[in-house]
Amino acid sequence: MGAAYDVEAIVVGAGVVGLACARALAAAGREAWVLEAEAKAGEGISSRNSGVIHAGLYYPTGSLKARLCLRGNALLYAWCEAHAVPHRRLGKLVVAAAGGEIDALRALQARALANGVQGLRWLQAAQARNLEPALRCAAALESPSSGIVDVPAYVLSLVAAIERAGGRVLTRMRVERVAREGDGFRVETADGGAARCRWLVNAAGLGAVELAHRIDGLDARHVPTLHYAAGHYYALHGRAPFARLIYPLPQPQGLGVHLGFDLAGRARFGPDVRWLAAPDYRFDDGRRARFADAVRAWWPALRDEDLAPDFVGVRPKLAGPGEPMADFRIDDASVHGLRGLVNLFGIESPGLTASLALGEEVRDRLARSSA
């Protein structure tokens, strides 16, 4: 950026959540710019995940994750249809691998129903095998509204929608400092440029906490500690003998090592959890045997050598090792007192599914703050 500009809203971070926020603002007639530090949109968390459209099974009833996942699921499928984004409603089986897990699967079913998830079906072992003959389990919960999406295509569709509505997505724009200026904000970038905005959305993902500490006037008490969790993914040599997503019961730190697919039908397993002091995308192939053991609990035919290292993703978690899963944090002026600022913290799974709903939520909170 050159000299200072004026724009109504600036969103920092061009992942799917930041783009969805900017798209919601632009569609409401608000001029919105997205500032992204990387060379192109969608290069952070959005490029290194399972690409799954979740149904809303897992999250505590009444939580932001539950509400926004359910709403986002419907919005995302509709968006994909309207904008020709490749996707597939594969369905998912969450499995109780052994009889001792059936009570936990029943509890998951009850939570999902309380969250408003539709179409769930309880499957006895024989029914599950009729659907997926290679599967071994004591019971399964079928979720027909789970699926997959081409994330890069979704990112491009959001960028196009923002630009059609008069917004801009500016890459290689690293935000160095945010100063309070009148009723708005002055956003300064590493290239020496600056822009004044009325509204500021911090959707910087892994960098959201770091950015928050650079916002003048934001009390540090309102900035959480972020925990980084690496997740390894292994690809499967050859085709998987499954037509649906297969998930184990969720673990305290995540959804467990599951089977997913890309739109070409290539199967992959992941993610696991490895805690980090800072984001690190190096692949540790020493985890292969543990991966294979986890999958063999429900697919006994898998061999260690069937797995090939794929990639590592890093998730921004608000809950650290041994702590229960945390909810999304959407901090507006009612939390921190800075009118026109929304900080998004800990937007991990189901952030992709919830992205359009998160955009609506941020848009509405900003509008209320200015009423």
Other C-beta atoms closer than 10 Å to the C-beta of 128 total 24
For the stretch 136-147, pLDDT in tens is 999 999 999 999
What was the pLDDT predicted at 194? 94
d(CA 83, CA 146): 19
What was the pLDDT predicted at 290? 92
What was the pLDDT predicted at 2? 44
What mean pLDDT do residues 204-212 have? Answer: 98
d(CA 83, CA 250): 32
What mean pLDDT do residues 103-127 have? Answer: 98
Nearest to 244 by CA among 95, 118, 124: 95
CATH class of the 92-144+227-317 domain in this structure: alpha beta
What mean pLDDT do residues 51-80 have? Answer: 98
- Could you tell me if 357 and 72 are in contact, meaning their C-beta atoms sit under 8 angstroms apart? yes
What mean pLDDT do residues 103-115 have? Answer: 98
Tokens found for residue 61: 């009833």
d(CA 226, CA 208): 9
What was the pLDDT predicted at 256? 85
Nearest to 12 by CA among 190, 164, 181, 151: 190
Q: Is 315 helix (H, G, I), strand (E, B) or coil?
A: strand
Q: How many helices (H) and strands (E) does the chain have?
A: 9, 20
For the stretch 281-325, pLDDT in tens is 999 999 999 999 999 999 999 999 999 999 999 999 999 998 988
Average pLDDT score, the chain: 96
What was the pLDDT predicted at 253? 67
Q: Is 228 helix (H, G, I), strand (E, B) or coil?
A: strand
Query: Across the strands, what pairs with 267?
Result: 261
What mean pLDDT do residues 25-39 have? Answer: 97
Q: Is 86 helix (H, G, I), strand (E, B) or coil?
A: coil
pLDDT band at 5 (very low <50, low <70, confident <90, very high): low
Question: What percent of the chain stands above pLDDT 70?
Answer: 98
Helix axis angle, 351-369 to 16-27, nearest 10°: 40
Residue 4 clears pLDDT 70, i.e. is over it: no
For the stretch 154-202, pLDDT in tens is 999 999 999 999 999 999 999 999 999 988 999 999 999 999 999 999 9
- Could you tell me if 231 and 40 are in contact, meaning their C-beta atoms sit under 8 angstroms apart? no
Nearest to 208 by CA among 9, 7, 12, 51: 12
d(CA 154, CA 160): 10
What mean pLDDT do residues 219-227 have? Answer: 97
pLDDT band at 371 (very low <50, low <70, confident <90, very high): low
d(CA 113, CA 213): 39
CATH superfamily name and code, 5-48+152-224+328-369: FAD/NAD(P)-binding domain (3.50.50.60)
Query: Across the strands, what pairs with 78?
Result: none
Tokens found for residue 323: 């702590």
pTM (2 decimals)? 0.96
Give, rounded to a whole angstrom, the gap between the first and last alpha carbons of the chain: 31
What was the pLDDT predicted at 254? 72
HSE of 206, CA atoms in CB hemisphere, 13 A: 22
| Every domain of the chain and the residues it spans | 5-48+152-224+328-369, 92-144+227-317
d(CA 236, CA 238): 6
What was the pLDDT predicted at 3? 46
- Could you tell me if 204 and 211 are in contact, meaning their C-beta atoms sit under 8 angstroms apart? yes
What mean pLDDT do residues 326-355 have? Answer: 97
- Could you tell me if 258 and 297 are in contact, meaning their C-beta atoms sit under 8 angstroms apart? no
